Structure 1
Amino acid sequence: MSRSAKRKPVTLDEIEAGLDLIARLMEKFPREAELLTPHWRALVFQRDKRIEAATILAAAKERLTRSPDRTARQSS
């Protein structure tokens, strides 16, 4: 089994912790802060992707609970 197959996906909390860490590093090392911007962008992108996916999944679930009769009609 490959190493990546054993890993759990990074959680939203871990992404947020990464952003906190980068923010602290940017504050502590202002002359090098610009070097961290690609990492910041990558984490923000991943965070926003996760939030968007969770929002879509919640909307789909909510839609099904709102209209169970419509779903049943379409599957018959």
Structure 2
Amino acid sequence: MSAESLIKMANQIGQYFASEPDHAVAVRGVYQHIKSFWTPGMRQQLQGWQQMHPEAVLHPLVREALAQPEGTT
């Protein structure tokens, strides 16, 4: 899958959870959605791309979710 597609999908997830008034719950929601519904390869590709392009336009909730240590719930 292209990086552009992953970014678009990740940003849509971030936008969905942006209406959550509790910021921590929103970040956990993004994290859990990506962990539950994306393949490990998709997650790794997005994380690798974000590390190589830190200036990339990712929704702030997505950036925070990607920074969560593995196993966070």
For the aligned pair, the TM-score class normalised by the smaller chain equals 0.3 to 0.5
Q: Which structure is higher in helix share?
A: 1
Q: Give the structure, 1 or 2, with the largest relative contact order (CA under 8 Å, sep 6 or more).
A: 2
Bigger Rg, structure 1 or 2:
1
- TM-score of the superposed pair, with normalisation by structure 1: 0.36
Per the normalisation by structure 2, the TM-score is 0.37
